[in-house]
Amino acid sequence: MKFVIEKKVAGTLARAGSIETPHGTIQTPAFVTVGTKATVKALTPEHIRELRAQVVLANTYHLYLQPGPDIVAMAGGFGKFMGYYGPTMTDSGGFQAFSLGAAYGSSVSKVATGEAKGNKTEIENFNGKKQMARITDEGVEFRSFLDGSKHFFTPERSMEIQWKLGADMIFAFDECTSPHADFNYQKRALARTYSWAERCIARHEELDTEHVQALFGVVQGGRFKELREEAARTIGALPFDGFGIGGSFNKEDLGSAVGWVNAILPEEKPRHLLGIGEPLDLFDAVEQGCDLFDCIAPTRMGRHGSLNTQTGKINIRNKKFTTDFSPIEKDCTCYTCTHHTRAYLAHLFRADEMLAGTLASIHNVHFLLRLVERMREAILNDTFLEFKKEFIANYR
């Protein structure tokens, strides 16, 4: 993998560049489409190509459970397995330490609003019903969401599985913490993530002797500036090919948290903001120096009937759309908007037809891909901040 910065925006950390991978070049900043189980939900690989998605990210935990890393390896890696031949990434399974752990069965989101409070991140109920992941310094014990069976992930194991999954860029195994975790817990979790980072590098070097697979280290630290900066220094000093910024954030200051980190991380390596994809968050992240983002929002929200437009999100199931024969967005060039009406979408959703999720996902993914594409153009034209201002004014 080779990363080149083409242009920077004065007075900000924003930059545009390109990442060369064995399966093609990514123009950054770029939105990474999420295909957790080697499928971008509701979309065919042909849709993905037509949408000009530049990268697809799959998940280690999910593909490990089903169909298993050996089958994916036999298929020639997850990209080939699913029939997508562009650049690929895999997430390490570290996010599942949170989603199946502290967040399991609760409404806790990694992007929290308001004051951080409470602390129930130490997992004690693994054998009860509450949580499906238990974290120790050695690794994470997961329960399969498919059949309840127990599985133990270590940093080494994550590297081995990701090696078999065969993506161009992979992530170090980290612990994604809850926004409600207190300072002391975050500090302990960080110590684990540091040690896991080193173990990942060591194991990956053994597996990938020719270094065809880029390894990204992950910066954690939760909502604490002190810890975020420490993590950026610590992880940033390790010989990773790029960096992921993960974990939980304050909705209000997500941008500044990303800025604390990127001000410290080595400039010449790409930075991937993990799991963030709300339009306004993307502007902040780009301004604060991120190059890549992945997010399930466009596909999940799409399947749930929430569609993005330049003036904000709409819920296409709302009554008012049942007789609205205009496209989702007048000037949108996506397949859905050029062929179908809001009324038709509203009907498909109400009729519980599968095509609803597909058409909605096409639109939402197109929306984000084009948005980030325009951010890149704006950076190259030196109009990024104006573009941001203009977009926000419309979007609210």
Partner RNA sequence: GCGUCGGUGGUAGAGUGGUCAAUUACAACAGACUGUAAAUCUGUCGCCUUCGGGCUACGAAGGUUCAAAUCCUUCCCGGCGCA
Our answer to whether residue 137 is catalytic in this structure is no
Catalytic residue among 174, 241, 284, 294: 294
Query: What is the pairing mode between strands 150-153 and 140-143?
Result: antiparallel
Question: Cβ closer to RNA: 32 or 386?
Answer: 32
In angstroms, the CA 92 to CA 319 distance is 42
Question: Cβ closer to RNA: 174 or 241?
Answer: 174
Cβ 375 vs Cβ 282: under 8 Å: yes
Of residues 347, 375, 208, 359, the one with CA closest to residue 283: 375
Question: Cβ closer to RNA: 186 or 299?
Answer: 299
Handedness of CA 387, 393, 394, 396 (dihedral sign): positive
SS (HEC) of 229-285:
HHHHHHHHCCCCCEEEECCCEECCCHHHHHHHHHCCCCCCCCEEECCCCCHHHHHHH
Tell me, what DSSP letter sits at residue 187? H
In angstroms, the CA 110 to CA 107 distance is 10
Query: What is the pairing mode between strands 271-273 and 292-295?
Result: parallel
- Shortest Å, Cβ 6 to RNA: 26
- Shortest Å, Cβ 194 to RNA: 14
Q: What are phi and psi of 285, to 5 degrees?
A: -65, -40
Question: Cβ closer to RNA: 41 or 151?
Answer: 41
The distance from CA 282 to its chain's CA centroid, rounded to whole angstroms, is 12
Catalytic residue among 70, 91, 281, 291: 91
Residue 347: Cβ-neighbour burial (10 angstroms; 0-12, 13-18, 19+) = middle
Helices (H), the chain: 45-50, 60-65, 69-75, 78-82, 94-97, 155-165, 183-207, 225-236, 254-262, 279-287, 297-303, 335-339, 342-350, 354-380, 384-395
Binding footprint of RNA on the chain (CB under 7 A): 34, 36, 40-41, 57, 59, 61-62, 91-92, 94-96, 98-100, 103-107, 109-111, 145, 171, 174, 176, 218, 220, 244, 246-247, 251, 274-278, 281, 294-297, 299-301, 303-306, 315, 317-320, 322, 350, 352, 354, 357
Cβ 248 vs Cβ 276: under 8 Å: no
In angstroms, the CA 166 to CA 80 distance is 9
Question: Cβ closer to RNA: 5 or 273?
Answer: 273
- Shortest Å, Cβ 257 to RNA: 12
Question: Cβ closer to RNA: 21 or 33?
Answer: 33
Question: Cβ closer to RNA: 13 or 292?
Answer: 292
- Both tokens of residue 354? 């599968």
- Shortest Å, Cβ 381 to RNA: 26
Our answer to whether residue 91 is catalytic in this structure is yes
- Shortest Å, Cβ 104 to RNA: 5
- Shortest Å, Cβ 382 to RNA: 27
- Shortest Å, Cβ 23 to RNA: 19
Active site residues: 91, 294
